[in-house]
Amino acid sequence: MKVVQCVPNFSEGRDTEKIEQIVSVLKNKDNFKLVSYEPDASYNRTVVTLLGDPYAIKDAVVEMVGMTTKLIDLNQHSGEHSRMGATDVIPFIPIKDITMEECVDIAKTLAKEINDKYHIPIFLYEEAATSDDRVNLAKIRKGQFEGMKDKIKLEEWQPDFGNPEIHPTAGVTAVGARLPLIAFNINLDTTDVEIASKIAKAIRHSSGGYRYIKAGPAEIQARGIVQVTMNITNYKKTSIYRVFETVKMEAKRYGVNVTGSEIIGLVPMEALVESLEYYLGLEGFGMDKVLETNLFN
Protein backbone atom coordinates (compact mmCIF):
# COMPACT_ATOMS: atom_id res chain seq x y z
CA MET A 1 0.00 0.00 0.00
CA LYS A 2 1.54 3.27 -1.17
CA VAL A 3 1.62 6.02 1.45
CA VAL A 4 2.45 9.67 0.92
CA GLN A 5 2.42 12.59 3.24
CA CYS A 6 0.98 15.79 1.75
CA VAL A 7 1.31 19.13 3.52
CA PRO A 8 -0.78 21.86 1.87
CA ASN A 9 -0.31 25.33 3.35
CA PHE A 10 -3.12 27.83 2.89
CA SER A 11 -3.16 31.56 3.66
CA GLU A 12 -5.71 31.84 6.43
CA GLY A 13 -4.75 31.38 10.08
CA ARG A 14 -7.19 33.63 11.92
CA ASP A 15 -10.76 33.20 10.74
CA THR A 16 -11.81 29.97 12.41
CA GLU A 17 -14.98 29.69 10.40
CA LYS A 18 -13.15 29.88 7.08
CA ILE A 19 -10.45 27.48 8.27
CA GLU A 20 -13.09 24.94 9.29
CA GLN A 21 -14.86 25.29 5.96
CA ILE A 22 -11.62 24.68 4.09
CA VAL A 23 -10.52 21.61 6.05
CA SER A 24 -14.06 20.18 6.09
CA VAL A 25 -13.43 18.72 2.63
CA LEU A 26 -10.49 16.74 4.06
CA LYS A 27 -12.27 15.19 7.02
CA ASN A 28 -13.47 11.59 7.24
CA LYS A 29 -12.39 10.66 3.76
CA ASP A 30 -11.59 7.12 2.67
CA ASN A 31 -8.00 5.97 2.20
CA PHE A 32 -6.23 8.88 3.85
CA LYS A 33 -6.14 10.60 7.20
CA LEU A 34 -6.29 14.26 8.09
CA VAL A 35 -3.46 14.05 10.63
CA SER A 36 -3.63 17.67 11.74
CA TYR A 37 -4.34 21.22 10.70
CA GLU A 38 -2.44 23.89 12.52
CA PRO A 39 -3.58 27.48 12.08
CA ASP A 40 -1.11 30.16 13.13
CA ALA A 41 -2.61 33.59 13.71
CA SER A 42 0.70 35.48 13.50
CA TYR A 43 1.62 33.71 10.29
CA ASN A 44 -2.01 33.99 9.13
CA ARG A 45 -1.50 30.58 7.62
CA THR A 46 -2.61 27.01 8.24
CA VAL A 47 -0.47 23.92 7.74
CA VAL A 48 -2.46 20.79 6.89
CA THR A 49 -0.96 17.31 7.20
CA LEU A 50 -2.46 14.43 5.25
CA LEU A 51 -1.26 10.84 5.24
CA GLY A 52 -2.38 7.99 3.06
CA ASP A 53 -3.16 6.97 -0.50
CA PRO A 54 -1.63 9.46 -2.96
CA TYR A 55 -4.57 9.52 -5.38
CA ALA A 56 -7.23 9.89 -2.70
CA ILE A 57 -5.20 12.76 -1.27
CA LYS A 58 -4.75 14.40 -4.67
CA ASP A 59 -8.49 14.41 -5.33
CA ALA A 60 -9.26 15.88 -1.91
CA VAL A 61 -6.62 18.57 -2.28
CA VAL A 62 -8.19 19.68 -5.57
CA GLU A 63 -11.42 20.17 -3.62
CA MET A 64 -9.55 22.01 -0.90
CA VAL A 65 -8.01 24.40 -3.41
CA GLY A 66 -11.54 25.11 -4.63
CA MET A 67 -12.46 26.18 -1.09
CA THR A 68 -9.38 28.34 -0.53
CA THR A 69 -9.96 30.02 -3.89
CA LYS A 70 -13.52 30.80 -2.90
CA LEU A 71 -12.79 32.00 0.63
CA ILE A 72 -9.37 33.68 0.58
CA ASP A 73 -8.54 36.99 -1.11
CA LEU A 74 -4.81 37.63 -0.98
CA ASN A 75 -5.38 41.33 -1.68
CA GLN A 76 -6.71 41.50 1.90
CA HIS A 77 -4.07 39.25 3.45
CA SER A 78 -1.19 40.04 5.76
CA GLY A 79 0.88 37.81 8.02
CA GLU A 80 4.35 37.03 9.31
CA HIS A 81 4.96 34.24 6.81
CA SER A 82 5.69 35.07 3.17
CA ARG A 83 3.05 33.79 0.74
CA MET A 84 2.05 34.03 -2.89
CA GLY A 85 -1.22 32.06 -3.08
CA ALA A 86 -4.49 31.32 -1.29
CA THR A 87 -3.18 27.78 -1.32
CA ASP A 88 0.46 28.68 -1.07
CA VAL A 89 2.28 25.40 -1.45
CA ILE A 90 1.46 21.70 -1.77
CA PRO A 91 4.34 19.24 -1.31
CA PHE A 92 4.10 15.47 -1.64
CA ILE A 93 6.49 13.39 0.43
CA PRO A 94 7.13 9.67 -0.15
CA ILE A 95 6.57 7.67 3.04
CA LYS A 96 6.03 4.02 2.18
CA ASP A 97 6.23 1.82 -0.94
CA ILE A 98 6.41 4.82 -3.23
CA THR A 99 9.28 6.45 -5.07
CA MET A 100 10.10 10.12 -5.38
CA GLU A 101 9.45 9.80 -9.12
CA GLU A 102 5.88 8.71 -8.44
CA CYS A 103 5.43 11.64 -6.08
CA VAL A 104 6.67 13.98 -8.81
CA ASP A 105 4.12 12.46 -11.21
CA ILE A 106 1.30 12.96 -8.71
CA ALA A 107 2.40 16.55 -8.12
CA LYS A 108 2.29 17.22 -11.85
CA THR A 109 -1.14 15.63 -12.21
CA LEU A 110 -2.45 17.71 -9.31
CA ALA A 111 -0.86 20.86 -10.74
CA LYS A 112 -2.60 20.35 -14.08
CA GLU A 113 -5.97 19.64 -12.45
CA ILE A 114 -5.78 22.77 -10.28
CA ASN A 115 -4.86 24.92 -13.24
CA ASP A 116 -7.55 23.43 -15.48
CA LYS A 117 -10.23 23.84 -12.85
CA TYR A 118 -9.42 27.14 -11.17
CA HIS A 119 -7.05 28.91 -13.60
CA ILE A 120 -4.41 29.33 -10.93
CA PRO A 121 -0.88 29.35 -12.40
CA ILE A 122 1.35 26.66 -10.89
CA PHE A 123 5.07 26.53 -10.24
CA LEU A 124 6.57 23.08 -9.80
CA TYR A 125 9.31 23.05 -7.16
CA GLU A 126 11.92 20.90 -5.38
CA GLU A 127 12.09 17.41 -6.94
CA ALA A 128 9.34 18.37 -9.40
CA ALA A 129 11.10 21.57 -10.52
CA THR A 130 11.56 22.10 -14.26
CA SER A 131 14.72 24.19 -13.84
CA ASP A 132 17.43 24.73 -11.24
CA ASP A 133 16.01 28.17 -10.46
CA ARG A 134 12.77 26.63 -9.31
CA VAL A 135 14.06 24.02 -6.91
CA ASN A 136 14.04 26.40 -3.96
CA LEU A 137 10.56 27.53 -2.97
CA ALA A 138 11.83 30.73 -1.36
CA LYS A 139 13.27 31.77 -4.69
CA ILE A 140 9.97 31.20 -6.50
CA ARG A 141 8.02 33.00 -3.78
CA LYS A 142 10.34 36.01 -3.64
CA GLY A 143 8.28 39.17 -4.17
CA GLN A 144 5.26 37.37 -2.74
CA PHE A 145 1.67 37.82 -3.95
CA GLU A 146 2.14 41.54 -4.49
CA GLY A 147 5.26 41.13 -6.62
CA MET A 148 4.05 38.11 -8.55
CA LYS A 149 1.80 40.18 -10.86
CA ASP A 150 4.89 41.43 -12.67
CA LYS A 151 7.35 38.63 -11.90
CA ILE A 152 5.20 36.02 -13.63
CA LYS A 153 5.42 37.97 -16.87
CA LEU A 154 9.21 37.68 -17.00
CA GLU A 155 10.55 35.13 -19.47
CA GLU A 156 12.28 33.12 -16.74
CA TRP A 157 9.25 33.06 -14.43
CA GLN A 158 6.59 31.76 -16.78
CA PRO A 159 4.52 29.27 -14.74
CA ASP A 160 4.80 25.52 -15.38
CA PHE A 161 1.02 25.30 -15.80
CA GLY A 162 -1.22 28.15 -16.91
CA ASN A 163 -0.87 31.58 -18.39
CA PRO A 164 1.59 34.21 -17.15
CA GLU A 165 -1.07 35.99 -15.18
CA ILE A 166 -1.83 35.52 -11.49
CA HIS A 167 -5.29 34.55 -10.29
CA PRO A 168 -6.70 37.93 -9.17
CA THR A 169 -7.49 36.78 -5.60
CA ALA A 170 -5.77 33.37 -5.21
CA GLY A 171 -2.38 34.34 -6.72
CA VAL A 172 -0.21 31.40 -7.69
CA THR A 173 0.49 28.03 -6.09
CA ALA A 174 3.64 25.95 -5.81
CA VAL A 175 3.22 22.19 -6.14
CA GLY A 176 6.06 19.77 -5.69
CA ALA A 177 7.61 16.68 -4.22
CA ARG A 178 10.35 16.65 -1.63
CA LEU A 179 12.09 14.64 1.01
CA PRO A 180 10.52 14.67 4.47
CA LEU A 181 11.58 17.35 6.91
CA ILE A 182 10.81 18.35 10.45
CA ALA A 183 9.25 21.80 10.88
CA PHE A 184 10.52 22.96 14.26
CA ASN A 185 10.01 26.34 15.96
CA ILE A 186 11.78 27.46 19.11
CA ASN A 187 10.31 30.20 21.32
CA LEU A 188 12.38 33.00 22.87
CA ASP A 189 11.10 35.22 25.66
CA THR A 190 11.84 38.50 23.92
CA THR A 191 10.02 40.81 21.51
CA ASP A 192 13.30 41.62 19.74
CA VAL A 193 13.07 39.81 16.44
CA GLU A 194 16.65 40.81 15.69
CA ILE A 195 17.80 38.27 18.30
CA ALA A 196 15.83 35.47 16.62
CA SER A 197 17.38 36.56 13.35
CA LYS A 198 20.91 36.37 14.73
CA ILE A 199 20.32 32.94 16.24
CA ALA A 200 18.75 31.69 13.00
CA LYS A 201 21.89 32.81 11.17
CA ALA A 202 24.09 30.99 13.67
CA ILE A 203 22.36 27.64 13.20
CA ARG A 204 21.44 27.56 9.52
CA HIS A 205 23.53 26.03 6.81
CA SER A 206 23.42 29.00 4.44
CA SER A 207 25.27 31.23 6.89
CA GLY A 208 27.67 28.76 8.48
CA GLY A 209 25.47 26.65 10.77
CA TYR A 210 24.35 23.05 10.70
CA ARG A 211 24.31 21.27 7.37
CA TYR A 212 20.60 20.32 7.41
CA ILE A 213 19.02 23.42 8.95
CA LYS A 214 17.10 26.12 7.13
CA ALA A 215 16.06 28.82 9.62
CA GLY A 216 14.69 32.30 9.98
CA PRO A 217 13.14 34.61 12.56
CA ALA A 218 9.44 35.17 13.23
CA GLU A 219 7.54 37.54 15.47
CA ILE A 220 4.65 36.09 17.45
CA GLN A 221 3.15 39.41 18.50
CA ALA A 222 0.05 37.94 20.12
CA ARG A 223 2.28 36.20 22.67
CA GLY A 224 4.95 38.88 22.93
CA ILE A 225 7.66 36.44 21.87
CA VAL A 226 9.80 35.70 18.86
CA GLN A 227 10.65 32.37 17.26
CA VAL A 228 13.52 30.79 15.50
CA THR A 229 11.54 28.92 12.85
CA MET A 230 13.33 26.13 11.02
CA ASN A 231 13.22 23.09 8.83
CA ILE A 232 15.42 20.15 9.71
CA THR A 233 15.89 18.55 6.33
CA ASN A 234 17.72 15.46 7.56
CA TYR A 235 17.22 14.61 11.23
CA LYS A 236 19.62 11.69 11.03
CA LYS A 237 22.49 14.05 10.36
CA THR A 238 21.32 17.10 12.33
CA SER A 239 19.37 16.02 15.42
CA ILE A 240 16.49 17.88 17.06
CA TYR A 241 18.22 17.98 20.46
CA ARG A 242 21.43 19.35 18.98
CA VAL A 243 19.83 22.32 17.32
CA PHE A 244 17.61 22.90 20.37
CA GLU A 245 20.58 22.95 22.75
CA THR A 246 22.53 25.16 20.34
CA VAL A 247 19.70 27.69 20.23
CA LYS A 248 19.64 27.69 24.07
CA MET A 249 23.38 28.28 24.10
CA GLU A 250 23.17 31.14 21.60
CA ALA A 251 20.17 32.70 23.37
CA LYS A 252 22.24 33.05 26.53
CA ARG A 253 24.56 35.64 25.03
CA TYR A 254 21.60 37.91 24.38
CA GLY A 255 20.24 37.38 27.89
CA VAL A 256 17.08 35.70 26.62
CA ASN A 257 15.62 32.30 27.40
CA VAL A 258 14.25 29.47 25.33
CA THR A 259 10.77 28.96 26.76
CA GLY A 260 9.51 26.14 24.59
CA SER A 261 9.21 24.76 21.11
CA GLU A 262 6.74 23.27 18.68
CA ILE A 263 6.79 20.73 15.91
CA ILE A 264 4.47 21.50 13.00
CA GLY A 265 3.13 18.46 11.19
CA LEU A 266 4.58 15.00 11.52
CA VAL A 267 7.80 13.84 13.10
CA PRO A 268 9.24 10.34 12.75
CA MET A 269 9.34 8.42 16.00
CA GLU A 270 13.00 7.71 15.38
CA ALA A 271 13.87 11.40 15.55
CA LEU A 272 12.19 11.67 18.94
CA VAL A 273 13.88 8.55 20.26
CA GLU A 274 17.27 9.82 19.18
CA SER A 275 16.79 13.07 21.05
CA LEU A 276 15.55 11.35 24.17
CA GLU A 277 18.58 9.05 24.07
CA TYR A 278 20.63 12.21 24.42
CA TYR A 279 18.68 13.67 27.34
CA LEU A 280 18.55 10.44 29.33
CA GLY A 281 21.99 9.21 28.28
CA LEU A 282 20.26 5.99 27.22
CA GLU A 283 22.59 3.09 26.50
CA GLY A 284 21.78 0.13 24.28
CA PHE A 285 18.45 1.58 23.26
CA GLY A 286 16.83 1.20 19.88
CA MET A 287 13.59 1.48 18.00
CA ASP A 288 12.94 -2.23 18.49
CA LYS A 289 12.25 -1.51 22.16
CA VAL A 290 9.55 1.03 21.49
CA LEU A 291 6.05 -0.31 21.85
CA GLU A 292 3.69 1.57 19.57
CA THR A 293 0.62 0.50 21.47
CA ASN A 294 -0.26 2.50 24.50
CA LEU A 295 0.02 0.25 27.55
CA PHE A 296 -2.50 2.00 29.75
CA ASN A 297 -5.60 2.53 27.68
Residues labelled as active-site residues: 81
Q: Could you give the C-alpha distances from 206 to 43, 240, 250, 251, in angstroms and in order? A: 23, 18, 17, 20
Query: Is beta strand 213-220 parallel, antiparallel or unpaired with respect to 225-232?
Result: antiparallel
Burial bucket for residue 15 (CB in 10 Å: 0-12, 13-18, 19+): middle
Report the distance separating Cα 289 and Cα 183, nearest Å.
Answer: 26
Distance separating alpha carbons of residues 92 and 100, to the nearest angstrom: 9
Specify the residue, 138 or 287, whose C-beta has the smaller distance to its own copies: 287
Q: How far is the CB of 203 from its own copies (least distance, A)?
A: 15
Of the candidates 36, 109, 136, 158, which one interacts with its own copies according to CB under 8 A?
Answer: 36
Q: Considering the rule CB under 8 A, would residue 1 count as an interface residue with its own copies? A: no
Angstrom distance (rounded) from CA 239 to CA 213: 10
Site string for its own copies, 198-227 (x = CB under 8 A): ------------------------------
Window 93-152: residues binding its own copies (CB under 8 A): 93, 95-96
Count the neighbouring beta carbons within 10 Å of the beta carbon of residue 296: 3
- From 23-31, 64-72, 152-160, 262-270, give the range in contact with its own copies by CB under 8 A: 262-270
Q: What is the DSSP letter of 43?
A: T
Binding of its own copies by 229 (CB under 8 A)? no
Q: Which of 149, 231, 234, 254 binds its own copies (CB under 8 A)?
A: 234
SS3 state at 46: strand
Answer whether 79's CB lies under 8 Å from 34's CB: no
Nearer to its own copies, 249 or 290 (CB): 290
Interior angle at CA 38, CA 199 and CA 188, nearest 5: 25
Region at 226 (left for phi over 0; alpha for psi -120 to 50; beta for the rest): beta
Q: Which stretch binds its own copies (CB under 8 A): 24-32, 72-80, 91-99, 142-150?
A: 91-99
Check residue 269 for interaction with its own copies (CB under 8 A): yes
Say if residues 182 and 194 touch (Cβ distance below 8 Å): no
CB of 180 to its own copies, least distance (A): 4
Residues within window 167-196 making contact with its own copies, judged by CB under 8 A? 179-180, 187
Assess 5 for contact with its own copies (CB under 8 A): yes
Smallest gap from residue 190 Cβ to its own copies (A): 16
- Specify the residue, 51 or 120, whose C-beta has the smaller distance to its own copies: 51
Could you tell me which stretch among 140-148, 162-170, 192-200, 263-271 binds its own copies (CB under 8 A)? 263-271
Residues that bind its own copies (CB under 8 A): 3, 5, 35-36, 38, 49, 51, 93, 95-96, 179-180, 187, 234-236, 240-241, 244, 258-263, 265-270, 272-273, 275-276, 279-285, 287-296
